[in-house]
Amino acid sequence: MGTTNDTSIKAGHWMAWDGHSGRIEVVDYRRNVVEVRDPDSGLFWSVSIIDLYLQKEGRTPPLFAPTRRALEAKMDAPVLAPLIARPPDKLLKRADGMMEIVRDVRRTLDAEIAAMRKKPRYDADGKPMTATKLLEQILAGRPRPIDISTFYRYERRIRDHRGSQIEIASSLISVAKGRTTMTPAQYHLADTMIAQFYADRDMPLSPTATHEVMEGTLQRTGGLWVNPTLCTEIPENLVYELMDHRLPMGAILANDEKRRLLSPIALPSDRWFRNYVKWMEEYPGHADALFQARWGDEMEKHRRSFDIFVNRAQAPLQYVFADHCLIDVFIVDEETRSKLDRLWVTLLIDAYTRSIVGYALRYESPGTLSIQGALKHGLWPKESHTALGIEGP
């Protein structure tokens, strides 16, 4: 049986915000209004949906619950941790193979260069063998040869993603899977709605509700939205003004500098928007990179894939995700104390409790064995500390 997420706005549920509480009677995303009835006086009070999201500075976030008693019990409830999605297994396998190729080739190349220092080698023209030519020979002699440009591309991808198998796998996803023929202005509108409403840390809206807010916003603006191709930097205050129902559109259009940055756009379909959100959930690493490339840090900090799933977990171990980190722990030579290897730690983290349920330390780059080791540590009794005289769980 699935669980119910009670952090979103639903008719029939209860809501507390800004000193008021009551039962939600009407939710209209297109009209941008929530109507709440006070249980004691029977009077109604209304609140703008966009106000709930854009006017949170210095104010306690709204709380929602299916019953009045549950709402009162939630008043001091903590905000739960989010979840990060896992790339498909086939891409994890590709990333693992890529890291293995780079590791093996570099190991072979280092050994060959060390041998050449003792006994120089020459190419077919009698010239001293260079490291580049030697690398080309090693790559050509592999069971499945690759060219040197492909090898350098592998190295660059591994370096850019800090050797993380999950991040490398996410980066392998084709950009085309998340794109259609949408214009830059349509993408900015969709991404703004995702960042502000769907990925909100306190009360995430569903994709359908987020699309309805987007539809209502375009109706308010007369189909106009910011065109990123008309400005070097998108003015954040203009974006908020376009969503602020209290500010007449005429006041915005009366400003020539603001009006020239707006273009008429068509509303992205509900089906396209839901598929776009689904793609972001399935491929978070690539979606983060795409957001960063399009809009920079300001919008990306609202929408990191880690934040998209806030409050999704409803029970311990419902979602457990893995993360890898190259740590400052080294294996050194006993005599020379030179560093031989640096350790990777793989952590399994429970999204609901934020507890570490298992970990593994390995000197190899993250891969299947890292996950298996962390799972084994999480599943089996942990008794190694008893050998050190440490008691307790």
Question: Would you say 161 and 91 are in contact if contact means Cβ atoms under 8 Å apart?
Answer: no
Question: Would you say 322 and 371 are in contact if contact means Cβ atoms under 8 Å apart?
Answer: yes
What does the pLDDT look like over 279-315, one tens digit per residue?
777 766 666 666 766 666 555 554 444 444 445 567 7
Mean of pLDDT over the chain: 78
Question: Would you say 71 and 14 are in contact if contact means Cβ atoms under 8 Å apart?
Answer: yes
pTM: 0.47
Residues near 159 by beta carbon (within 8 Å), at least 6 away in sequence: none
| Angle 170-88-203 from CA coordinates, rounded to 5° | 70
Asked if pLDDT for residue 174 goes beyond 80, the answer is no
pLDDT of residue 84: 39
Alpha helices (H) in 119-253, listed in sequence order? 131-140, 148-160, 165-171, 184-193, 207-221, 236-243, 249-253
Asked if pLDDT for residue 381 goes beyond 90, the answer is no
Closest by CA to 226, choosing from 197, 261, 181, 192, is 261
What does the pLDDT look like over 53-94, one tens digit per residue?
765 555 567 788 888 888 877 755 444 333 334 567 777 888
> Where do the domains of the chain lie?
14-73, 89-172, 177-308, 320-388
Rounded to 5 degrees, φ, ψ at 359 are: -150, 165
